[in-house]
Amino acid sequence: QLKDVVLEGGYAFGRAHGGMKLFDYMGTDERFSKLFNQTGFTIAVVKKALEVYQGFKDVNVLVDVGGGVGNTLGVVISKYPNIKGINFDLTCAL
């Protein structure tokens, strides 16, 4: 599948899963969804960004639309505990 996507273009995940998009598939496979949400990539990137970005220092409420299980929001709030965090996503992503 990957070779075909490289040569012809398209969406590799969809080709491998009958045209299904990643987040739609996550709603059908709890094990895959849990694994996807437990990856540390987002956490590492956000922690690094917060070392230099100061834009949250005066924020009182932060809404993460499409926030999955809340990894990104959790990292921000751990640095800025004064922020009230609201994580909003589809049920299948939580």
What confidence tens digit (pLDDT) does each residue in 29-45 have? 888 888 877 776 678 88
Find the domain containing 88 and state its range.
41-93
| pLDDT for res 79 | 95
Q: Kindly state whether residues 24 and 47 are assigned to the same domain.
A: no
Structure tokens at 30: 């709890």
Segments of the chain with pLDDT less than 50: none
Q: What is the pTM of this model?
A: 0.61
Cα–Cα dist 80/58, whole Å: 9
**Number of domains into which the chain is organized:** 2
Report whether 64 contacts 88 (CB < 8 A).
Answer: yes
| pLDDT for res 93 | 58
| pLDDT for res 91 | 72
Q: Kindly state whether residues 29 and 48 are assigned to the same domain.
A: no
